[in-house]
Amino acid sequence: MPVYEFRCEACGPFDAHHAMAQVPRAQACPACGAAARRVFSAVGLSRANSPRARAIDDAARTADAPEVVRSVPRQAGAPGAVPRVSRAPRHAKLPRP
């Protein structure tokens, strides 16, 4: 349910949840009970969890403290090395150089 903003003349603004088809023009103020008119304000679109916002946050977080490589990556074929070739069946269908 969307959040709508109402403004009481005495107490100020407050938010209330209503179904989009049942939004009243006025609502009783939760503090004083007076009729509070609905206020049309900017839409609160959230970008907090979008991939772009996460990328920006990650870049800002690591700008001052980048990840540090403490050892040389193991060579392919060495014991314990991570294989560089994918074993996924669908990757086998890809063209090879």
Residues near Zn ion (CB under 5 A): 8, 10-11, 29, 31-32, 34
Question: CB-wise, 32 or 39, nearer to Zn ion?
Answer: 32
Taking Cα atoms as reference points, which of 84, 76, 18, 13 lies closest to residue 42? Answer: 13
CB distance 30 to 22 below 8 Å: no
Smallest distance from Zn ion to CB 23, Å: 19
Smallest distance from Zn ion to CB 31, Å: 5
Question: CB-wise, 10 or 82, nearer to Zn ion?
Answer: 10
Give residue 25's identity as a one-letter amino acid code.
Answer: R
Q: Does residue 83 sit in helix, strand or coil? A: coil
